[in-house]
Amino acid sequence: GHTVALSIGTGRPATPEQASEALRDYRSGLEDLGLPSLPERAIVVRGEKDRPQPRFDRMAGQGMSVTVGRVRACPVLDLRLVALVHNTIRGAAGVAILNAELMKARGFLQ
């Protein structure tokens, strides 16, 4: 998996708890289309201090979910967090399949 450490400016004050809740509540808007490759949750938020980790979290949502953790205040911007995603499944192959499923569901393919 690919892991990234982010510092984020939010534009308006947000606590780490509020940011975690917003990430947990995120929905892509594609859920009603019945796309087989679409994970139940696009973003999985972990509360443990040592997560996400590639060994444990790269297959979240069968490799199609982004795992976020270590959400905390940032002394430079507003928040910082760590995100992890499976680079092949979500990053290339799986997302290509998901895009094809979406095109079919939206009537672009016959």
For residue 110, is pLDDT > 90? no
Q: Which residue has the tokens 């069968």?
A: 62
For residue 100, is pLDDT > 90? yes
| Whether the Cβ atoms of residue 83 and residue 68 lie closer than 8 Å to each other | yes
Rounded to 5 degrees, φ, ψ at 60 are: -60, 135
Residues 6+ apart with CB under 8 A from 86: 1, 58, 59, 63, 64, 94
Q: pLDDT per residue over 22-63, tens digit each?
A: 999 999 999 999 999 999 999 999 999 999 999 999 999 999
**Chain centroid, CA 74 distance in Å:** 20
Distance CA 57, CA 96 (A): 21
Q: pLDDT per residue over 66-82, tens digit each?
A: 999 999 999 999 999 99
For residue 92, is pLDDT > 90? no
